[in-house]
Amino acid sequence: MIRKTSVPELIYAWHESKQTGVGRPHMGASLIGGECDRYIWFNFRWALPPKFEGRILRLFKRGFVSEVELNTELRGIGLRVEDIDPATGKQFRFELMNGHFAGSCDGMVHGLAESPAKVHILEQKTANDRQYKALDKDGVRTAKWQHYVQMQIYMKMFHCKRALYLCVNKNDERIYDERIEYDPAVADLFINRAKNLITAAIPPQTLADGATCKYCDYRCICHGVQVPAANCRTCVHSTPQIELGQVPWLCEKFKMAISLRGQQTGGQCPGHMLMPYMMPSWLRVKDISSQGGLQYHLPDGSSLINTSEKFDGMLCLTSAKLHLLTPAMVPTVRDATEVFGSPPDTVPSSFPDIKCGVPDILPDTMPNTLPDTMPDAPDSVLVKTPATVKIDEHGTPQVVDPDNDLPF
């Protein structure tokens, strides 16, 4: 008989209890090469609070531990590794677009035997056996396009022409290595993609419901019934501003800057209204209610108003409460207090009464696209002069940089 314990589940629960449930404040270089524009936009707009199983959180931590070990090993074989920016005393980091697009690289490595004069961006990853085999067969550009884009942006921002990619197989500790050449066309294209997504007032189109969507964090919104979370980034009144000198996030309703803490708690704001373009398909916007707030058609033919006010004869739900609503609950919400059991919300006097910036009537058919400049797939950025291979006088193959005819 095998006697099991509660230890694993307790460890997982301990990791889960340490989650803050708050998204990162910026759009990251590590995500911008992903396939789905809508996923990146939802992530930036905090459509749902991040929540991971304890087992997954342990996997994340293993990646951090692997980086420390690899840095020790790289130094042990005589390479110089800089993992702290001497100018800041912190990890190497860049910011663009008023801090809305940012990234932190693992470091810089000097003294590679294959190119001792060139500084390389250092990027370290871990992978399962299946992913590792794909890397080993096809290389980073094909097998891990998102990582490839990430390194291209780091090379541009930190003024390097090469990157060293190391990936540890979590099954057997094999280390995959590849030197990556800088491709400015890719870096520029995806920085532009970030700008388009950050400034987009509505979410991009939904991908087909296929393998890509199956394990997506936002599938329950795009292809399900989940209403987005209530915070400043999901509100119709919030606007990210990308020019230096501007406040990063502006509340158009109350004409005020929104702090990071304020963004997190903004779902309690009496002026909060969820962005209608983010809503699942079962909630169809009707118009701006005469009482204020956005009015939605419900599947049974009735309607509700997304507002913090309470009006006789109308179903009125704050954004925080609307986030909890599902189609199955609709027949029981004729009286909002029957489900949610809360008194009418009060409006703090500290909030000025400023006219809402939402159009008087929202269109029945809502646009759901971004500009044509958005890349459709990795194949659209194949702008690159390939390296060549030459055999030296000793019969050793050398990869040659096409720009200066020197080994890179």
**pLDDT digit of tens for each residue in the chain (408 aa)?**
999 899 999 999 999 888 887 789 999 999 999 999 999 999 999 999 888 888 888 888 887 888 889 999 999 999 999 999 999 999 999 999 999 999 999 999 999 999 999 999 999 999 999 999 999 999 999 999 999 999 999 999 999 999 999 999 999 999 999 999 999 999 999 999 999 999 999 999 887 666 778 888 898 998 888 999 999 999 999 999 999 999 999 999 999 999 999 998 888 899 999 999 999 888 888 777 555 688 898 888 888 889 888 877 778 899 999 999 888 887 665 444 444 444 333 322 222 222 222 222 223 333 333 333 333 333 333 333 333 333 344 433 343 443 433 333
What residues have CB less than 8 Å from 236, skipping those under 6 apart? Answer: 273, 274, 275, 276, 294, 357, 358
- pLDDT tens-digit profile of 343-361? 333 322 222 222 222 222 2
Q: What is the pLDDT of residue 300?
A: 81
Cβ atoms of 87 and 123 within 8 Å: the answer is no
Q: What is the pLDDT of residue 137?
A: 96
Nearest to 303 by CA among 289, 318, 319: 289
Angle at 368 between CA 280 and CA 256, to 5 degrees: 85
Nearest to 124 by CA among 143, 106, 145: 106
Based on its alpha-carbon atoms, the radius of gyration of the chain, rounded to whole angstroms, reads 25
Nearest to 104 by CA among 33, 154, 152, 67: 154
H helices then E strands: how many in the chain? Answer: 12, 17
Q: What is the pLDDT of residue 342?
A: 41
CATH number for the domain formed by residue range(s) 11-196: 3.90.320.10
Residue for token pair 């912190």 = 90
- pLDDT tens-digit profile of 288-344? 755 568 889 888 888 888 988 887 777 889 999 999 988 888 766 544 444 444 433
CA distance 392 to 54: 52
Cβ atoms of 29 and 69 within 8 Å: the answer is no
CA distance 295 to 111: 63
The boundaries of every CATH 3.90.320.10 domain in the chain are 11-196
Helix, strand, or coil (residue 168): strand
Q: What is the pLDDT of residue 289?
A: 58
Q: What is the pLDDT of residue 332?
A: 62
Cβ atoms of 237 and 355 within 8 Å: the answer is no
Nearest to 78 by CA among 116, 111, 114, 122: 111
CA distance 5 to 183: 52
Q: What is the pLDDT of residue 291?
A: 57
Query: How buried is 40 (Cβ within 10 angstroms: 0-12 exposed, 13-18 middle, 19+ buried)?
Result: buried
- pTM equals 0.79
